[in-house]
Every structure is written in structure tokens, then in C-alpha cells.
Structure 1
Amino acid sequence: MKYTTMPSVEIVNIAYTIDSVHLKRNVELELFLPEGLLGNEMLNLLLLNDGQDAEALGLGDTLANLQRQQQIGPLVVAAIKASAERVQEYGVAGVPDFMGRGSKAQAYSDFVILELIPFIEGTLNMPIRGKRAFAGFSLGGLSAFDIAWGNEAHFDAVGVFSGSFWWRKKDLSEGYTDQDRILHQRIADTQGKPELKFWLMTGTEDETADRNKNFIIDSIDDTVDVIKELLLKGYKRPQDLAYYEVVGGRHDVATWGKAMSAFLCWAF
């Protein structure tokens, strides 16, 4: 009789602080990486908004379990902690919403591309030759999508958990129409088709709001409409697009933590 022993995989998480020129503040983050990297692995990278929730998500345990079961390749996760300026730094770069939120989204994008990625590469001191993805939750998901969309040379994939795709230029009381959704319009207005793949998740209990009274919550409607815009760009399902709907899923960390394995297996 043969016995198969699964290799033990330990995940190390190390805290860092970056003095950001573009954000004019200190940015805290944690790097989660497999212990004992040799330097010749096909290493993957995930940037994760709202990294302050990493522990509540059970991120370390999820990474260890998936790598132990060889369901994902060697993966480094940079969990970027949000600041008190979260609603200004997250959003769509250059286009604040109707309340002026997202005014620092361009500065946050510049931080990610010009400061964070070089910092990670220098800290690891080994090449990231595998896939690169950016993911986030709620408004952090909108931010991750927008940054990857505008910087395709740095990313291969995007993951959005309960994304704030409702982000809009007009309040509902100001003559709002669906054409006022900022990200949908950005996708439509973009020339060409960024080389990216997309994993979009919603929960059936994300919210109760239903703007158009079609008995489908806005979270699902807005996400499905993002998919429609991507299909119009020429992306294909399932090759380029995955939609993951959690029955009973809520707009909370517990739901997103349960969905994390599905995203990681899809991306890596």
C-alpha cells in the first residue's frame, strides 16, 4: 500500500510601510508569501485592496490550504491597507462621483504602479514571472478594476468582490440614468481592448436596493452590465470572463472570505 504525504506549506506574512510620494502619506501593507522560496519558482503576484481585512478573510489559511493541495502555484499577496482617505483614494481615476468621492484615485493608481510594484519586486529580490492580478472588495474592487484597466502592461487579471459598480456622476434625484455610471462609461469609451481577464462576484443578498424596480438588486444588475460592456469590447465567456454569484452572500468580509478560494484557483 502506498501513502501520499501532502507537503507542508507555511505562509509567512511580513508588515511593511511605504512613505508614498504620490499619496503624501505612509502606506501600510502585508506581504503573504510561501516560506522557503528558492528563487526559481514561477512566482505569481496578487495585489489586494482593503488589506486591513486580510486576517478576517482568513487569507493566510486559504493560501496555505490551496498551495498545500497544489490548487494554485506559488503566490505572493500584497495586502494594501486602506487609510482614513479610502473613499477619496478608491474610485475611478480622474472622475470623482457625484459627491466628489474618488478625488485621489489617480494618485492611488500612481502609487500602485510607480511605487508599490517596484517596492515589491525589490523586496522579494526575485522575478515575478507568473501571473499578476489585482483584486478588491466593494469600492476597493472598483479601484482594482480601474487601475488594472488603465495599466494592462502590469496585470493579467482582475478580481472584484461585490464591486461598487453603481459609482455614478449623478445622484438618483438629479435625473440619473444608467449612462451616468462612471466605470461602465469608461469601458465603453476606451479605445481598444486591454489584455486582461475578469472574475466578478456578487452575493444575492449584497443589498436590497433596486433602482429600476426589476426585482434584481442593483449590485447584480450593475455587475451584469459591466459584463455586457466587456462582451461588447470583444471579450469572450468563459475564456476572458467569469461571473461568480453566491446564493445568500452578503456585502461582508465573511462572504468574500468564502469566495476567495474560487477566485484564487481561477486566477492562479
Structure 2
Amino acid sequence: MYTTMSLPEIIRTQYSLKSVHLKREVEFEVFMPDDLMGNEQLNLLLLNDGQDAGALRLQETLADLYGNRKISAVAAVAIKTSAARLEEYGVAGVPDFGGRGSKAQAYTNFIIKELVPFIQETVAGPINGRRAFAGFSLGGLTAFDIAWNNDNYFDAAGVFSGSFWWRKKDLKDGYTDNDRIMHERIRTTKNKPELKFWLMTGTEDELSDRNRNFIIDSIDDTIDVIKELLKKGYRRPEDITYYEKVGGRHDLATWADALPAFLCWAFGRKNV
């Protein structure tokens, strides 16, 4: 007689943390495998826009990949945003031309000084594996920025259709590509953060084409980030992975389809 072993489940637990830096309650969910013994390596994933975890099929995707031994154990933390998303997300210390991102430094402080310590104290077992921060659209830009400035906390950044267009000057006010805030941050950072990068775009992310080169801005801006990283000394494919999804749109369905590829890149089992 043969017995059938069921795949491990992913347990979802809801939390609320009162943030001194954001001056509000921050809600988030932690997704953990239910079969941890306590002696395995446990990775960490922080995910912006965690309110969309259901549409992203995060729990189901983690269960499938973990159950089929494609990824190592990971504590996935889906951080829900608030009505102040356009203020809390962005590049820390550098609001865009419309003043958006004015609280991005406060959000960074919340992540580093409040959320990460809370997770370390709360989850079962120590976070002793790889640590990644990921996000979508403006949440992706934010994840990149926080990881970039805190490589002592993070090993990798994942960006889905990132808002790398984030700029200091509006298009009608004499904008040039040098006005893109994240590109400038990469150029002017003196050190070379110890990070690896997974950057994704969709070929139908948008229709905008500022320089009329027949390549949409989402792809242009992401490729230019890669160019800045290469100038910094990072290498492809060792440090940088670029995933371009044909037909991919700027929506949750596209990012849900791309999520398994990112998770396998970030937390893939070496013995598969």
C-alpha cells in the first residue's frame, strides 16, 4: 500500500504594528511554511503593496514552489500600504517634481528600525538565510532604494515594472534623462552595495515613449538602471537578472505570472 504525502501548507498570519516613524498603524501579513522544524535555513522576503497579496497569488505560489522543492523556506512579509502611498513610497530624501515621496525616509526608517526587528523577534526560527526586498511599480522603486541604502540588511532587490521614471523635473519643464532620481542615486553613491538585482518589465507596461525611440519608457528606464549598475561594477548575469515579459502589462495579473520566476531566482534550492 502506498501513502500519499500532502504538500506543506503556507500559513498566513496577520499583524499590526504601531509605527513611531510613520505615525500610524501598519498592517502586514506573514506567510510561513507549516512544516518548519526550527533547524533549517530561513530566508526573508519583504514585499511592498502587501494589500495585493491575494491578487498576486502569493500564498498559492509559495505553497506550490515550496511544496515542489523549488525554493527554500522563506518568511514572506506582505506590507500593506495606506492612503499616503504616494508620500511614503519613492526615493528617501528626494521627493519627485510634484513633491511626492516626502515621507519615503520615514518609511525606510519604519522598515529598518521597526519592522525588521519585529519580524526577527516574532517568526519561528532565526532569519539566517537570504534577505530580499521586492515591489511593484512605485513599490518596486521603493524596495530598490531601501535595499540600495541598507545592504547590511538586504542581499537582493526585486523590481516588477519599477517606476524608474521618478524624476526631479516635469517633462514640460526641460526634463532630461539626468533628472531621473534613482539613476542619479546609483551614480552618486560612493560605495558599491553588496546586492543582487532582479528587474522585470512587460512589453506592454505602457505606451509612453519620451525619446521616441520606439521603446516604451518602462523598458528604457529599467535598461538605463542596468547600465548604471554595470558602470558601478556589477556584472550580468552574476549580479543582475533582467526579465522582460512579452505581452506583460502594468497590472497584478502580469506580476503574479512573473512572481514564480523571481522567487526561484531569490530563494531557489541549489539541489533541485
| Aligned match of 1:75 | 74
In the aligned structure 1, how far is the partner of 2:46 from the partner of 2:14? 14
- Which one-letter code corresponds to 2:61 in the other structure? T
In the aligned structure 1, how far is the partner of 2:154 from the partner of 2:13? 23
| Aligned match of 1:134 | 133
- Which one-letter code corresponds to 1:146 in the other structure? D
Give, in angstroms, the shift of residue 153 of structure 1. 0.3
Report the TM-score when normalising by structure 1.
Answer: 0.98
Q: Does 1:21 align with 2:20?
A: yes
| Aligned match of 1:225 | 224
In the aligned structure 2, how far is the partner of 1:143 from the partner of 1:23? 15
Give, in angstroms, the shift of residue 174 of structure 1. 0.5
Distance 1:142 1:4, change over 3 A: farther
Task: Give yes or no for contact 1:6–1:69 (8 Å, CA) kept in 2.
Answer: no
| Aligned match of 1:35 | 34
- Which one-letter code corresponds to 2:105 in the other structure? Q
Where in structure 1 do 4 or more consecutive aligned residues deviate above 4 Å? 3-7
- Which one-letter code corresponds to 2:33 in the other structure? P
In the aligned structure 1, how far is the partner of 2:17 from the partner of 2:112? 13
In the aligned structure 2, how far is the partner of 1:20 from the partner of 1:146? 20
Report the TM-score when normalising by structure 2.
Answer: 0.96
| Aligned match of 1:266 | 265
Matched residue of 2:108: which SS? helix
Give the 5 Å matches for 1:1-268. 8-268=7-267
Task: Give yes or no for contact 2:51–2:80 (8 Å, CA) kept in 1.
Answer: yes
Structure 1: 5+ residue stretches without partners: none
Task: Give yes or no for contact 1:44–1:75 (8 Å, CA) kept in 2.
Answer: yes
In the aligned structure 1, how far is the partner of 2:160 from the partner of 2:35? 31
> Percent of pairs identical after alignment?
70
Give, in angstroms, the shift of residue 4 of structure 1. 10
Cα displacement string for residues 140-195 of structure 1 (whole angstroms, at most 9, x for unaligned residues): 00000000000000000000000000000000000100000000000000012100
Moved more, 34-43 or 126-135: 34-43
